[in-house]
């Protein structure tokens, strides 16, 4: 009887280990290929997303469709965007214009911003508001710009093919495509679709 109980206990322990291993594998697989959590690191998306808030990012979304204007996405910015002294591909843009091209390589960090223009779109910025193809966009999510250097860029640029122009909702405190250019589609990780922390801000985006 003692031997039977020992064998049964050993089997239960092995079963528990296997269950934990499978659960861990599934969790890692889901995070790697399907859904990934992301913590908001800065104030660039206030008031939509606060510092420390957590969102879920759909990692397979980019395989079934292109980003749309208005989507909040996580992406790799151009190299140089992660440092002070923003870098624009080809050198600083002409005064009064947004950056028209990114640097050639991408940074290893992740940013989260809103898509405000897509391939072939013409974009300018006036008082922090997007002028898309000559029309000011309704942007109830955007915070007042406050007179920073990127608030007025009235000379339009055209977004290159397969690129997307990103801006934070906190227009006066966001380091974004105005300074380091549009983002190639292949650098976009996926759209953020829901918030799960803190509990009082759980919801969809």
Q: Is 36 a catalytic residue?
A: no
How far apart are alpha carbons 107 and 82 in whole angstroms? 7
Of 36, 42, 44, 105, the catalytic one is 44
User: Rounded to an integer, what distance in angstroms lies between the CA atom of residue 82 and that of residue 52?
Assistant: 19
* Model pLDDT, residue 29: 41
Catalytic residue (choose from 36, 97, 113, 149): 113
Has residue 127 got a pLDDT over 70? yes
Q: State how far the Cα of 145 lies from the Cα of 110, in Å rounded to an integer.
A: 23
pLDDT of residue 49: 96
The whole-number average pLDDT for the span 146-157 is 92
Q: Where would I find the beta strands (DSSP E) of 79-143?
A: 111-117, 122-126, 129-132, 135-136
Chain segment 37-67, per-residue pLDDT in tens: 899 999 999 999 999 999 999 877 555 578 9
For 183, the enclosing helix (H) or strand (E) is: strand 183-184
Distance CA 189, CA 153 (A): 28
Q: Cα angle vertex 186, ends 183, 191, to 5°?
A: 80
Q: What is the pTM of this model?
A: 0.82
Q: Known catalytic residue: 113?
A: yes
């Amino acid at each position: 009887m003692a031997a039977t109980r020992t064998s049964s206990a050993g089997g239960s322990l092995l079963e528990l280990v296997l269950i934990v291993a499978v659960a861990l594998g599934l969790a890692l697989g889901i995070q790697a290929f399907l859904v990934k959590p992301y913590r908001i690191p800065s104030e660039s998306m206030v008031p939509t997303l606060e510092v420390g808030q957590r969102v879920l990012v759909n990692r397979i979304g980019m395989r079934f469709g292109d980003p749309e204007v208005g989507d909040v996405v996580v992406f790799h910015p151009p190299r140089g965007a992660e440092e002070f002294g923003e870098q624009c591909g080809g050198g600083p843009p002409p005064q009064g214009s947004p950056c028209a091209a990114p640097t050639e390589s991408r940074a290893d960090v992740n940013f989260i911003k809103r898509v405000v223009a897509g391939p072939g779109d013409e974009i300018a910025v006036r008082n922090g508001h997007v002028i898309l193809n000559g029309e000011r966009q309704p942007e109830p999510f955007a915070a007042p710009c406050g007179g920073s250097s990127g608030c007025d860029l009235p000379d339009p640029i055209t977004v290159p093919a397969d690129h997307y122009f990103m801006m934070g909702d906190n227009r006066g405190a966001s380091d974004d495509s105005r300074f380091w250019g549009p983002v190639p589609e292949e650098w976009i990780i996926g759209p953020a679709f829901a918030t799960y922390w803190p509990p009082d801000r759980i919801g969809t985006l």
